[in-house]
Amino acid sequence: MGIIVWWKESVVYQIYPSSFKDADGDGYGDLQGVYEKLDYLEKLGVDVIWLCPIYDSPGHDNGYDIRDYYAILRKYGTMEDFDRLLAEAHRRGLKVMMDLVLNHTSDEHAWFAESRSSKTNAKRDYYIWRSGKNGQVPNNWESYFGGSVWKHDPETNEYYLHLYSEHQPDLNWNNPEMAEEMYKMVHWWLEKGVDGFRFDAVAHIAKADGLPNAHNPNNLPVVQAYELFSNLEQVHTILRKLNNMILKPYGPMTVGETSGLGPEQALAYVGTDRDELNMVFQFEHMFIDARSSGIGKWNYKPWKLTELKEIMSRWQTVLHGRGWNANYMGNHDQPRPVSRFGDDGKYRARSAQLLATWMFTLEGTPYIYQGEEIGMTNVAFPDIEQYRDIETKNYYNHYIGQGKSKHEVMEAIWRKSRDNARTPMQWDDSEHAGFTTGEPWMEVNGNYTGINVAEAESDPQSILNYYRKLITLRKQNHVLIYGAYELFLPDHPEIYAYTRTLEDEQWLIVMNFSANEPEMAWPEGWNAAEAKCMMCNVSRRYSTDEGAILLQPYEARVYRKQGVSGE
Ligand code: GLC
């Protein structure tokens, strides 16, 4: 089976460098740590490593505030370390994808130092500056991390715009010199030999002309204004230019982080006729357990499987043949999937395997976030002092300031804090989970003695070994990569089932997202005699499968229809 399009057939593994593996004992993960774990990654069967930002940064947002795009953060190593890692990854046939922030820099970037120094500085216009309105901020937009997007700078008595923290001033893409500098920088990394980019927050690089106020019926000091700085037409103009001028000759894999859109709008980025990006990370399924999107994520509401199916199925069908999906269930900004969509108690292993089955049998490129492959769970630190994430801390201070009880605020944090995903990787049951010999920058999740890689290696039925099998299965069967998706039982509250069909080959995926034991009639064209089970996360089988598929709690099955070509 030859490769048709490499980035469609690849499996991506996302590394959060601070928390992956510390080789020098300073408590922070580093590039040498990644180097030492290449064996592990190779054995897992992934093709691409995505490194979250490793550039020089003061670290207010863990590297998403870049101070120098051309330098490696000291605590991660040196440029030589990076070059060595890249060369060794390539030697093993692994590709490396960089995380690149085009929307903003650190407030310690040399450009910003110049920009803020005077209104007439040549780089003033690299960022977005406005004077106040009657002593107030220039408009009513709310930042992703809480409060206004505007920060007053006494130096010139004007405000600069920051969609994220005040240490992350937004760049002004209307400034051609700044844009040129960015293109040059992307080119420099391509010349170095990197194989792809994840473009951070790329949906927001353009803002509505004139920066108008957002609709504000209740006259609040700040309001969500996503439609005024998300997915605007100018973003597409910039991306097409970037692609045609810089990316294309190198053929890198590209994925954009684009919140606030559905699949029809996503086609503007990933449509085969668009010449922009290979794929985007969509957010619809990340907000099914929130009362609203963006900053509304903290307001929990129970999620429904029917809604999850509806969202995923829409993306599967709309993009089929017209674009390409990036499939993920967690990342460094999201809670742990097994705690969120599975069961991190009694059925932890089985539900983590079910979730993996889902990710690897959808159309699109699957992304694994570090630790998912061993079923790492959310953490519930009792004290806010144990948290590191700027978003979490801002949320805490804001709501405690407004009089909410500590318990109420901590409960929301336990559920949604980004630090759920950022506790150090659990390698073994030694002190600090084998992550570091020093003091870890953030505490290890207390459950590491039972949940760790060494333990998973020793158990043939482990989540880790299940991932390995699934990855191999997907690689060996184009139907799982390219086949058309059809959903069954859209209204069933517990069962998620679909087929994948490529030419005359058809596979059936059945998953029970519950602790109950529902049953499902064989879909039309399927029966027990002709269905060959290719993958299953439960070894004991009911004997009464003939009439219907009887599912155990969190059971997942992948069937292939017998007696067709390829047998
Ligand atoms: C993206 C990153 C997130 C970061 C933000 C600002 O959403 O994934 O971690 O805080 O952009 O750069």
Ligand 1 near 482 CB (within 6 A) = no
Catalytic residue flag (residue 344) = no
Find the catalytic residue in 22, 56, 158, 200: 200
Phi, psi (degrees; rounded to nearest 5) at 452:
-160, 165
The closest alpha carbon to 331, from 99, 537, 142, belongs to 99
Confidence class for position 558, pLDDT limits 50, 70, 90:
very high
8 Cα: distance to centroid of ligand 1 (angstroms): 24
- Spatial contact of 334 and 412, defined as CB atoms under 8 Å apart: no
Would you say residue 540 has pLDDT above 90? Answer: no
pLDDT for the residue 338: 98
Ligand 1 near 200 CB (within 6 A) = yes
The closest alpha carbon to 198, from 212, 186, 181, belongs to 186
pLDDT for the residue 156: 98
For residue 208, list its beta bridge partners: none
Per the rule left: phi > 0, alpha: psi between -120 and 50, beta: everything else, 133 is beta
Confidence class for position 544, pLDDT limits 50, 70, 90:
low
Ligand 1 near 61 CB (within 6 A) = yes
Per DSSP, 561 falls in state E
Ligand 1 near 64 CB (within 6 A) = yes
129 Cα: distance to centroid of ligand 1 (angstroms): 22
27 Cα: distance to centroid of ligand 1 (angstroms): 23
- pTM above threshold 0.75: yes
- Spatial contact of 61 and 168, defined as CB atoms under 8 Å apart: yes
Beta strands 48-51 and 95-101, pairing class: parallel
Burial 119-145 (b: 16+ CB within 10 A, else e): eeeebbbbbbbeeeeeeebbbbbbbbb
Average pLDDT over residues 412-423: 98
Lowest mean per-residue pLDDT among 96-100, 501-505, 536-540: 536-540
What is the position in ligand 1's atom list of the atom closest to the CA of 418? 9
Would you say residue 480 has pLDDT above 50? Answer: yes
Confidence class for position 565, pLDDT limits 50, 70, 90:
very low
CA distance 355 to 496: 11
Ligand 1 near 98 CB (within 6 A) = no
DSSP string of 372-386? GGGT------SSGGG
pLDDT for the residue 368: 99
Burial 198-226 (b: 16+ CB within 10 A, else e): bbbbbbbbbbbeebeebeeeeeeebbbbb
What is the position in ligand 1's atom list of the atom closest to the CA of 390? 10
pLDDT for the residue 1: 72
Percentage of the residues of the chain whose pLDDT score is greater than 70: 98
Ligand 1 near 170 CB (within 6 A) = no
Ligand 1 near 257 CB (within 6 A) = yes
Would you say residue 529 has pLDDT above 50? Answer: yes
Confidence class for position 539, pLDDT limits 50, 70, 90:
confident
Distances (CA, A) of 176 to 118, 125, 173: 20, 10, 7
Per DSSP, 410 falls in state H
Lowest mean per-residue pLDDT among 47-61, 270-284, 415-429, 544-558: 544-558
330 Cα: distance to centroid of ligand 1 (angstroms): 14
Assigned fold of 484-562: Immunoglobulin-like (2.60.40)
pLDDT for the residue 294: 85
Extended beta strands in 272-406, E state: 279-281, 326-327, 365-369
Phi, psi (degrees; rounded to nearest 5) at 320:
-60, 125
Summarised one tens digit per residue, pLDDT across range 432-458 is 999 999 999 999 999 999 999 999 999
Secondary structure class of 326 (helix, strand, coil): strand
Query: Over the chain, what is the mean pLDDT?
Result: 96
The closest alpha carbon to 160, from 121, 186, 198, 200, belongs to 121
Confidence class for position 566, pLDDT limits 50, 70, 90:
very low
pLDDT for the residue 542: 53
Sign of the torsion angle spanned by Cα atoms 81, 87, 88, 89: positive
CA distance 253 to 237: 19
Phi, psi (degrees; rounded to nearest 5) at 353:
-70, -40
Average pLDDT over residues 191-203: 98
What is the position in ligand 1's atom list of the atom closest to the CA of 259? 7
pLDDT for the residue 82: 98
Ligand 1 near 195 CB (within 6 A) = no
Amino acid sitting at position 72: I
- Identify the residue whose C-alpha is closest to ligand 1 atom 11: 201
Q: Which of 106, 333, 420 to mutate to test the pocket of ligand 1 (most atoms within 8 A of CB)?
A: 333
pLDDT for the residue 546: 74
Would you say residue 567 has pLDDT above 90? Answer: no
Confidence class for position 541, pLDDT limits 50, 70, 90:
low
Would you say residue 59 has pLDDT above 80? Answer: yes
The closest alpha carbon to 498, from 486, 483, 484, belongs to 486
420 Cα: distance to centroid of ligand 1 (angstroms): 15
- Identify the residue whose C-alpha is closest to ligand 1 atom 2: 200
- Spatial contact of 64 and 200, defined as CB atoms under 8 Å apart: yes
447 Cα: distance to centroid of ligand 1 (angstroms): 27
CA distance 202 to 231: 8
Ligand 1 near 163 CB (within 6 A) = no
**CB hemisphere CA count around 215 (13 angstroms):** 2
Find the catalytic residue in 257, 344, 363, 389: 257
Confidence class for position 2, pLDDT limits 50, 70, 90:
confident
Would you say residue 408 has pLDDT above 90? Answer: yes
Per the rule left: phi > 0, alpha: psi between -120 and 50, beta: everything else, 188 is alpha
The first and second tokens of residue 454, run together, are 């060494």
Average pLDDT over residues 119-131: 98
Extended beta strands in 150-235, E state: 150-153, 158-161, 196-200
Ligand 1 near 164 CB (within 6 A) = yes
Catalytic residue flag (residue 200) = yes
The closest alpha carbon to 341, from 329, 326, 359, 331, belongs to 329
- Identify the residue whose C-alpha is closest to ligand 1 atom 7: 201
Structure-token match 């957002």, residue found: 214
Ligand 1 near 494 CB (within 6 A) = no
